[in-house]
Amino acid sequence: MAKEQPAQQAVTDYKCPAYPTLEDLRLSITDPVSMKFLYTNPDSGDVDLAVFRIDYPDGAKSFRQAHKNGRGWVMKAPTGKLPLYNRKRVRDADRVVVVEGEKAVHALHAVGVVATTSAQGANNGAKADWSPLYGKEVVLWPDNDEAGLAYIEFVRGVLERCDPPCSISVIDPAASGIPAKGDAWDVVYDADAHIRDDAAERVQSILSSAESHNPSRGLFKRMTDIWEGRRTVIPWPWTMLDDYTQALLPGTVTLICGEPGAGKSFWLLQALTYWSGLGVKVAVVELEEDREFYLQRMLAQASGISGLLDLGWIKQNKDAAMAAFRQHEAAINKVGRCIWERGTDQYTLAELAQWAEDRAKEGCRVIAIDPITVAETGAQGWLEDRKFTSQIERIVTHYQTSVILVTHPARNSTVKTGVLAGSETYPRTARTVLWLYKYEGPEVQVYPHGPEVFPRPKEIVSVNMAVRIMKARVGKRPKVSLAFSYASGMRFEELGEMTDE
């Protein structure tokens, strides 16, 4: 069966057969033409573009475009931006509905609603001249399918930045009861192509349901989500760190850097246990050891018994070890369900990105990879890093989750030089960067309370660990260090903001 002929559409005008009238050109089409749509210039009355709809017996359809040049009518779209459909009514209307396809435009006209569309289908919105809509109230009515939603989203993006500006609202076709793959025509007409008795009422009801999609909409939704508790910061178990960074907002990436032996796994386990206890859905993939290794550390941390990390102590103190296990067994099970492990094969960055997206789809609010630096990379590691961070940015944005990436310093780098392992895409992607390091200096002065307390009291404390806030894009106090005590119980106790180092 003959379909559209891309080769014919691609040739230049002088190679196309020319016909003296549009009707002569239509008669040259051997396939069954069911409809003809004329894109008429509202000033001159000339037809700038003609579209023929072909409906085949098997239900397939295609479209042919034609325009008039110096030789006559040719079966080819004109060059340059294509006109919108129904420009005369559009010009005279204050409100215009944008739909996909001329057939849907005519359906809305049948019930007194001014509508328009662009030529050549949902994938070619960029070819149209949308300027006739500038300054108007525009309602976007998508078909209830993926292509229709994508088309309307493209049009919204064009109109959002037009001058003079449009007032834009968008209909949700599924919420409006439009069937899958349905459009405005299905709302107006029944299966026998008769106008429904209540068609005008249904159309007006659907139009009234359109939601504003002006630039302020996103901010209003964000503020509403904050007021109604849908957008919250997941708290760290350390008050000042949480207040200073607001690191775990939805849609964010946090980097935690530290040298081997700096206590990163204990740090993350303490946070993981805390979030699990709050009922936050979390997931962490541990890439260096098996799950039992980390759960044993968690048991030692929860019980405060460092001997639980020592095989000899456990063997000699069976009763004490078993008592600690029984006491914390429920918490171990809860946290254990949040931990994935490497297994026998090393993860690639692509596999880790897929793992993170799978967890995001399951509704995990915090997702951690510990450490990202052991992931397998190829010869062009920086390209893989860039692709990975782009995927992570997409995941956190789309699913409004928070991702934590544990990393290491670059070779010979310290907290003072602040260079992380891997490519520069990691710190650029992250909204928050924390550097965990051992502090081996003398006692230091700290501010035990935040900057809102004035005058700020000072205390002299013994510090053996610190966290440097290298970056906090939305936090109160970037570029400061917080003092911690990291005792034999393997728990981090926040002491305050360090006044000097």
Give the Cα separation of 64 and 36 in Å (integer). Answer: 10
> 402, 434, 466: which is the final residue of a domain?
434
Q: Please indicate, yes or no, if residue 455 is contained in any of the structural domains.
A: no
pLDDT of residue 420: 85
* Single-letter amino acid code for the residue at 10: A
Count of residues making up the chain: 501
Q: Please indicate, yes or no, if residue 241 is contained in any of the structural domains.
A: no
Cβ neighbourhood burial of 457 (10 Å; 0-12, 13-18, 19+): exposed
Co-location of 313 and 416 in the same domain:
yes
Average per-residue pLDDT for the chain: 89
Q: Please indicate, yes or no, if residue 226 is contained in any of the structural domains.
A: no
Rg, the chain, Cα only? 32
pLDDT of residue 413: 83
Mean per-residue pLDDT for 36-44?
Answer: 94
Co-location of 60 and 124 in the same domain:
no
**Domain with 65 in it:** 6-74
Q: Please indicate, yes or no, if residue 479 is contained in any of the structural domains.
A: no
Co-location of 52 and 112 in the same domain:
no
Co-location of 404 and 262 in the same domain:
yes
DSSP state of 217: H
Co-location of 407 and 263 in the same domain:
yes
* Alpha-carbon distances of 243 from 218, 247, 405, 474, rounded to whole Å: 25, 9, 20, 10
> Count of domains in the chain?
3
> 21, 52, 74: which is the final residue of a domain?
74
Q: Please indicate, yes or no, if residue 20 is contained in any of the structural domains.
A: yes
Give the Cα separation of 465 and 490 in Å (integer). Answer: 12
Percent share of the chain, pLDDT over 70 = 95
pLDDT of residue 8: 34
Q: Please indicate, yes or no, if residue 171 is contained in any of the structural domains.
A: yes
Structure tokens at 106: 């005519």
> 381, 408, 434: which is the final residue of a domain?
434
Mean per-residue pLDDT for 368-376?
Answer: 88
The DSSP element (H or E) to which 102 belongs, if any, is: helix 102-109
Note the pLDDT tens digit of each residue in 235-282.
Answer: 999 999 999 999 999 999 999 998 888 888 889 999 999 999 999 999
Note the pLDDT tens digit of each residue in 466-493.
Answer: 999 999 988 777 789 999 998 766 789 9
* Alpha-carbon distances of 451 from 186, 244, 431, 448, 499, rounded to whole Å: 61, 9, 21, 10, 12
* Alpha-carbon distances of 397 from 249, 263, 359, 403, rounded to whole Å: 11, 30, 14, 11
Co-location of 54 and 132 in the same domain:
no
DSSP state of 348: B
Q: Please indicate, yes or no, if residue 443 is contained in any of the structural domains.
A: no
**CATH number (domain holding residue 162):** 3.40.1360.10
Residue indicated by tokens 């670059």: 410
Does the pLDDT at position 9 exceed 70?
no
Nearest to 298 by CA among 322, 323, 262, 274: 274
3-state SS class at 56: coil
Co-location of 292 and 427 in the same domain:
yes
Co-location of 48 and 108 in the same domain:
no
Co-location of 201 and 96 in the same domain:
yes
Q: Please indicate, yes or no, if residue 318 is contained in any of the structural domains.
A: yes
Whether 75 and 18 have beta carbons less than 8 Å apart is answered as no
